[in-house]
Amino acid sequence: MTIRTTEQLISPLVNGSELADVVFKIGEEGVQMFAHKLILSISNLFWKKLFYSQNSNRSNGNKIKVIRIPDIEPESFKPVLDFIYTRKAELKLDIIWSIFEVCDRFEMDEFRQFSLNFLENNLETNQLFHYYEKSLNDQHPEIRKRLIKLIEQNSQKIFSERNCLNNLQEETIFQILKSRKLQVKEFELVQRIKERAEFLITQKENNNIKKEKEKEKEIEKEKEEEEEEEEEQEQEQETEMEMKKGKTKEKEKKIVIKKQVKKIKLKNNAVIQNSNNNKKRMKCTFPKQTNSKDKNRNVKKKSDMRLQRKTFQYRDIRSCVGNLLEKIDLRLLSNIELDQLVKANLFTKEEIKQSLNQIKNRNQKKRDQRCKTKEDLKILFITNETKQARIENILESLRSSGIKSISVLHADKEIPFLKRLKKYDALFLFSAPRGNFKDPIWLGDEISKYVDDGGGIVICAYACLAERKIKSKFSYALDGGISDQAYLPMKKGPFFSGKNGKTRCDLGKVFLPNHPTISQVKCFDGGIHSHRINTEFVPGGVDSKMIAQWSDGNPLICYKRKLEQNGIVLVLNFNPVSERKFLGDKGGISGSWSILSNGNKILSNAIQFVAMN
């Protein structure tokens, strides 16, 4: 008898329909993949919270759960199930970026480390720059750190090859040159950058030559067409004259035959080219005899053209290289190498002196001024919500971006002064639909002063936007200065109560896909009720933009800046509380945004954008 291991026992259950109580429909085609709630909940806390909240109702406990994920491909979701069951998976470099997105979405830290190790072990030195450039666009800091280490370790091999920086963008080269652990001389880096500039110049010249050739061909075709039209007109005039004189019908037949021959010649390019060449040969003339004076003039013209060509290339090189050379520390170069840079027309002696002085001044400024990071930001969360579980629900999504210091102000009990608000880098305002502010006018005036002073704020649904009911007992809408339309990028309007499922909506048109507030946001599901306000976007001020819409046309994310000296007012037209229900308490709202979508990233990106800008 052989004793089987746990992997041998569980491996037949991977994507097996036996005893399966979860069915995933992956991709647009809805490819079915079977799984088990028990194994998923043991492997990850995300699945545990999801299935615990859904199985809290006993009526739905024994039914098979169907989960649809249309924005993930089956090839990238299958390794996830393999890793959950067997702690092994077959990965490919082509799918690695989609796998990292899945890890971020389902909070799978172990699988992310497994995929990072696979990326390190299977990448070649020629592919490091290419994958590093992708990591900058996809905003994965962990991948960037790993790839930079590999570049630093293999920097001698990479930069020894010529034209290694030709196909890269300037931003990627900036990030690579920032690292001071590169085992490469500064002079070699300058040579690689110069080669990149020359490569770009040759590309521009080739494109210009192609365009000129195309224009010449078009001009030749136009001339040929004009000549043919003139010949046809002359022949028509001759025929008319002959017909008037009463010539025989045989000549008319010959004219018809000539026209048919011309049509056949137009179809055959070879015949046309030969005919054109013959015409040119007939029209050619002998060149005139030139004197010695004329020869000297031609030589001077050619030399002047060559000098102009050199200055033209020098300007192009400076335009392509000037920004990149700022990242190079000229103090590490010897005097001989500096003279070579001057001879290569990359620098002048005066520019070298100025750059050395600038490097000293920059180092002093960096010591004095320290740029704030995500961890150093201070944010104030203002709300009139009385339930602590819902407040923690919002704070969890805000902290997902790495922000640590978030303090809460209960606006139903106290009101802050402007001195207290200035201590924070940004504000987050949320008004519950059944909440009351202690003094909505005073609070609105203090927040408007904070925005006028240059501070930023994120406002969620209901606060300042919903139309306040006169007979209602609740004062969920703020008054005062911040409620003025000069600060808000949206009109006030009624909010959907969410009693019927007809109000369900999701992410619609995205106007600014490269905006930081929408980064890493693949989908957003508002839930059954999709709490939002029925309103319109109002442009105005110095800077006001619509970032994204709901699927029904209502604005979802937009911001506005009143004046250049004022701060940003960013509006999120949805309830920030998710449908998530914590273990032991009920923090979520039924019918709010789905946790399978990227609502937490929208919240974290919004507060980070407002605080950093």
Pair 474, 535 in one domain: yes
Q: DSSP string covering 519-580, please?
A: TT----B-TTT---B---B---SSEEEEEEEETTS-EEEEEEESSTTS-EEEEE-S-S-BS-
User: What pLDDT score was predicted for residue 473?
Assistant: 52
How many domains does one find in the chain?
3
Q: Output the six-digit token pair for 429.
A: 């305002």
Least confident interval from 146-150, 372-376, 383-387, 545-549: 372-376
| Class of residue 418 by CB neighbours under 10 A (exposed 0-12, middle 13-18, buried 19+) | middle
Q: Which helix (H) or strand (E) holds 25?
A: strand 22-26
Q: Which of 94, 121, 148 is the last residue of a domain?
A: 121
Query: Taking 50 as the threshold, does the pLDDT of residue 498 lie above it?
Result: no
Pair 307, 351 in one domain: yes
User: What pLDDT score was predicted for residue 381?
Assistant: 93
Q: Which residues contact 52 (CB under 8 A, 6 or more apart)?
A: 41, 581, 583
User: What pLDDT score was predicted for residue 318?
Assistant: 65
* Residue with more model confidence, 510 or 156: 510
Q: Mean pLDDT across the stretch 411-431? A: 87
Residue 129 placed within a domain? no
User: What pLDDT score was predicted for residue 8?
Assistant: 61
Q: How far apart are CA 198 and CA 447, in angstroms?
A: 54
The rounded Cα 12 to chain-centroid distance in angstroms is 41
Pair 344, 446 in one domain: no
Pair 443, 554 in one domain: yes
Q: What is the pLDDT of residues 335-367, one digit of tens each?
A: 777 777 777 767 777 777 777 777 666 655 544
Q: Which of 230, 173, 169, 606 is nearest to 427 (CA)?
A: 606
Q: Output the six-digit token pair for 363.
A: 């180092």
Pair 351, 396 in one domain: no
Q: Which helix (H) or strand (E) holds 382?
A: strand 378-383
Q: Output the six-digit token pair for 427.
A: 């504000």
Residue 331 domain boundaries: 191-195+302-368
The alpha carbon torsion through 235, 238, 244, 247 (nearest 10 deg) reads -90
Query: Do residues 90 and 47 touch, judged by C-beta distance below 8 A?
Result: no
Residue 255 has a CB neighbour count (10 Å cut-off) of 15
Q: Which of 121, 154, 174 is the last residue of a domain?
A: 121
| Class of residue 40 by CB neighbours under 10 A (exposed 0-12, middle 13-18, buried 19+) | buried
Q: Which residues contact 304 (CB under 8 A, 6 or more apart)?
A: none
Pair 359, 398 in one domain: no
**Residue 434 identity:** R
Q: What is the pLDDT of residues 368-383, one digit of tens each?
A: 444 456 677 889 999 9
Distances (CA, A) of 530 to 117, 165, 327: 40, 48, 49
Task: Determine the straight-line distance between the first and last CA of the chain, rounded to whole angstroms.
Answer: 68
Q: How far apart are CA 173 and CA 158, in angstroms?
A: 13
Least confident interval from 67-76, 262-271, 360-369, 471-480: 360-369
Q: How far apart are CA 134 and CA 180, in angstroms?
A: 22
Q: DSSP string covering 282-343, please?
A: HH--PPPPP-HHHHHHHHHHHHHHHHHHHHHHHHHHHHHHTTGGGGS-GGGS-HHHHHHHHH
Residue 276 placed within a domain? no
User: What pLDDT score was predicted for residue 428?
Assistant: 93
Pair 462, 571 in one domain: yes
Least confident interval from 118-127, 320-329, 400-409: 320-329
Query: Do residues 71 and 20 touch, judged by C-beta distance below 8 A?
Result: no
pTM, to two decimals: 0.46
User: What pLDDT score was predicted for residue 596?
Assistant: 85
Q: What is the pLDDT of residues 62-83, one digit of tens each?
A: 577 888 888 888 888 888 888 8
Query: Taking 60 as the threshold, does the pLDDT of residue 305 lie above it?
Result: no
Q: What is the mean pLDDT of the chain?
A: 76
Q: What is the pLDDT of residues 158-172, one digit of tens each?
A: 888 887 887 787 778
Query: Taking 70 as the threshold, does the pLDDT of residue 298 lie above it?
Result: no
Pair 431, 320 in one domain: no
Scan for tokens 């001077």, then name that residue.
300
Least confident interval from 337-346, 471-480, 510-519, 530-539: 471-480
Q: Mean pLDDT across the stretch 223-229? A: 83
Backbone angles phi, psi at 92, to 5 degrees: -135, 150
Least confident interval from 68-77, 273-282, 543-552, 595-604: 273-282
Query: Do residues 258 and 239 touch, judged by C-beta distance below 8 A?
Result: no
User: What pLDDT score was predicted for residue 588?
Assistant: 61
Q: Which of 70, 99, 121 is the last residue of a domain?
A: 121
Q: Output the six-digit token pair for 463.
A: 């606060």
Query: Taking 90 as the threshold, does the pLDDT of residue 457 lie above it?
Result: yes
Query: Taking 60 as the threshold, does the pLDDT of residue 288 lie above it?
Result: no
Q: Output the six-digit token pair for 283.
A: 């029209």
Query: Do residues 503 and 575 touch, judged by C-beta distance below 8 A?
Result: no
Q: Which residues contact 424 (CB under 8 A, 6 or more apart)?
A: 378, 379, 380, 407, 455
Pair 494, 594 in one domain: yes
Task: Please tell me the total number of residues recorded for the chain in this structure.
Answer: 613
Residue 452 placed within a domain? yes
Pair 351, 416 in one domain: no
Scan for tokens 């992310």, then name that residue.
112
Query: Do residues 582 and 537 touch, judged by C-beta distance below 8 A?
Result: no
Query: Taking 80 as the threshold, does the pLDDT of residue 88 lie above it?
Result: yes
Pair 313, 457 in one domain: no
